[in-house]
Amino acid sequence: MNNRLRLVHCSDIHLDADASPDADGNQYCDRFALALEQMRAHDPDLMLIAGDLFDSNRADDETVMWSMEILAAQDIPIFMIPGNHDCMLAGGIFARYDFGAIDNLNMLLAPSGETAWDEALGVAVWGKGMEEHTPEYRPLGNCPARPDECLWYLGMGHGHFVPRGEDTDRSSPILMSDIENSPCDYVALGHHHAAMELVTDRTIAAYSGSPTDDIGRGATYALAELFVDKEPMLEIKIIS
């Protein structure tokens, strides 16, 4: 039995944002490559990417192929969902390119949600493929109960955080109650570029922040460790 699971989590990389007139060359690819190097230095069991790998569904072929190659080069399982920038549009990136062909990558693309497994780790990961970024879309809505067969249950969502007691008309809301009532051990969140820890009595969740944006604490990712016999650990790591 695995008594500990160590994971790294990032989101909001926004590859191909370099295409803007004021961008600086390949800085987004370079920063993501640096983030991957520093995340791998923790010797994690797996990686979670919680949306917006790309800045838009118009990312060029060279950038998409580069991303597929660098993800394939990571020798750990990766689980990924789309975000609002690279959502599941007809003719979008995840329709044009077969990310599912990458051996170590598990794409969660079903609009109603789906669960991917890594049986060697005893891990089940649930998430949705966003089709439209609207107020009606609930990234963590209808998360199924914890599977009996898993040791670790992880969730993923991409959307706007709504604190307890607040109302919102923002698109893709993630309510604090969604997190509090989650059956997951860890919920990897994306959309906010400033990192945020959201710890409850029954689960831990985090917005990892962005590894390519300096807002908040700077360019960041999340490192979490889950244990069978003691409290979990969560850290926001600053990329240097």
For the stretch 127-170, pLDDT in tens is 999 988 888 899 999 999 999 999 999 999 999 999 987 778 88
**What pLDDT score was predicted for residue 19?**
57
Bridge partners, residue 123, by sequence: 118, 152
**What pLDDT score was predicted for residue 165?**
74
Phi first, then psi: what are they for 151, rounded to 5°?
-90, -35
DSSP string, 151-184: SEEEEEEESEEE-TT-----SSEEEHHHHHT---
Query: How far from 101 is each of 69, 72, 104, 107, 145, CA to CA, in Å?
Result: 11, 10, 9, 10, 29
Domains and CATH numbers, the chain: 4-238 (3.60.21.10)
Mean pLDDT of the chain, nearest integer: 94
240: pLDDT confidence band, cut at 50, 70 and 90? very high
Q: State yes or no: pLDDT of 33 exceeds 70.
A: yes
What does the pLDDT average to over 212-217? 94
Specify the higher pLDDT residue, 201 or 25: 201
